Structure 1
């Protein structure tokens, strides 16, 4: 819809979403003649996040806390109508809510709502204040949800494939250093930790994508739905292969692996990894699909890659090759019609 380059900046996109959310919320409160529109505007600022998942979570906490606080405020308001002192009536409801907020931090808004409904006087019916507070929260949360879904959404699919490409690059780095044997096992583990972190970002983006549409992700984007599982298997295979290369050795000379016939990242495997990286980066830009015969040609180049002189290496590289083919097969499917 928009093609301005600066819209690719996450800060700029979130700024626009926040401004639209506050502006739209202000219009709704003006149309509905809400007596205290400020609370709705504050809610829209708090709830509007950069992702649907974060917005849903923040909105849920705001709404649940407000409903609990509004219901609890009925008691002190009633007691004050029977001429109880303000602070005594307030404490009767405040103490249980303080315990609840300490036990369930997500309900902290209930304490705020109780204070607003009890401590701030109003010339109107005192029971209207908690009701109006609930309406303000409903307006703020509803507008924030709408804006997060519609205005410059971050497209979790793009983030998932971008991080998938990064994960595969890190996998290649692990295999490269293991093959050269220029790192010890602890350094390989550090690389693996970074790889796991990227993989978690893929999983987070996929979970975000599940909330973007009412249709199940497995139906509208099977490639994306299966991506974390296949990538995770490839990452675990890589760690096993790296361990097999470095077994029983501390810091051998760089050419020792090649001299013994251990080649964890041969040309055929490297072509496969390069194709996967290119494919993921392409899907991060647009969902264009790919002819399966291209993927089939890449897989054909892996047919003899498990032929290692060392029996253990033959076994572990064979497993790596099998899961690599599974990932290539997944990315080679043209599922653009499912969108």
Structure 2
């Protein structure tokens, strides 16, 4: 029996890890399935002519986060109502019994709506809806007004079911996803800072620098997307919490700091300058890395950030030592290229210090929120 239990445990452990890793994706698959089945059932109960559109609308509206579902639902419904109004008006006002007349009306329906949709990608449903309202009457022998009403009912049913399922069935708040994305980005920034400063005399190869910067840029892109969705939730009073704007702007500035550091490092200071500046640089690398990781952990747990003093001290030490080096005239005999990189490194570290103070502030706001 113990051997069987041990085998059973070994089988369950990787399954449990896989479920935890893809938890959000599995929940989304469940919500989409339930929304589609319920939309079809409601459409059948209401005897809608085309339950297909109710099901498709529920699939479109059911998104990873509640904020995204709200945005997609509002855009899709507005686009549908606009397409129904325009396509229905054309179908009623312009006779199109012949094929040539139908082609002309179809072109008249598509061209202006496609032009409008080209400015706002979330209104791509406009021409699609107008086409359905125009063509369905000829295929199902219903009036244009009846086709327009059916389309509105189908989309309303699908949108309502999709949003209600997103709200009730294991809802994923964009606010919580934004916190996780921000914490992940702080970890990436900590790793990037450490890689660039652990040995400032070594210039990383282009592929390594690109890997670090692309990873941070990808995290920032995901954070911006979820941040917008979190604001939709907050504006609709579906969730509470601080404004995501300061958090996103602070992490963007930190990313710029890491980019500047990556360009400034990669050369060895002259003898006495190296002896004076290298120790505080190494301290900045360790304390900055640990501070960013601790801020990420605090953000995930919604706890207060770590003390700022420990990370601020080595920055002040470097800035004071750098000022003493300049006043002592140690930079006068440096090559112009080396001097430029030395001053660029100092500027990047000053900016980084200021933005770490901002990180401390915004993490504290989210802990209180």
- Give the TM-score, by structure 1 length: 0.76
Alignment partners' CA distance in 2, 1:215 and 1:142: 16
Q: 1:62 and 1:271 mapped to 2: Cα distance?
A: 48
- For residues 43 and 173 of structure 1, the distance between their equivalents in structure 2, rounded to whole angstroms, comes to 47
Other-structure match for 1:236: 256
User: Counterpart in 2 of 1:306?
Assistant: 319
Q: 1:276 — aligned with what?
A: 292
Gaps of 5+ in 1: none
Corresponding residue for residue 143 of structure 1: 161
Q: Distance in 2 between matches of 1:208 and 1:61?
A: 13
Check the 8 A contact 1:26/1:37 in 2, yes or no.
yes
1:160/1:206 contact within 8 Å kept: no
- Residue matched to 1:133: 151
- Decide whether the 8 Å contact of 1:70 with 1:110 is kept in 2: yes
Q: Deviations over 1:112-144 (max 9, x none)?
A: 42344333223x655212211111111112222
Q: Does the residue aligned with 1:179 lie in a helix, a strand or coil? A: coil
Q: Which has the higher helix share?
A: 2
Distance 2:74 2:45 in 1: 25
Indicate the residue corresponding to 1:196 in structure 2.
217
The gaps in structure 2 that reach 5 residues or longer are 1-15, 119-123, 327-342
Q: What do the CA deviations read for 1:265-297 (whole angstroms, capped 9, x no partner)?
A: 42245224313213313433x43x22x6x4244
Q: CA deviation at 1:16?
A: 0.9
How big is each residue's C-alpha offset from its partner over 1:76-131, in whole Å with a ceiling of 9 and x where there is no partner?
35666xxx534244223201122135422512323442344333223x65521221
- Tell me the matched-pair count: 320
CA distance in 2, matches of 1:75, 1:21: 33
Q: Which residue of the partner structure matches residue 107 of structure 2?
A: 95
The alpha-carbon distance between structure 1 residues 54 and 94, as it changes in their structure 2 partners (threshold 3 A), is farther
CA distance in 2, matches of 1:297, 1:210: 32
CA-atom RMSD in angstroms: 3.7
Out of 50, 59, 75, the residue aligned to residue 36 of structure 1 is 50
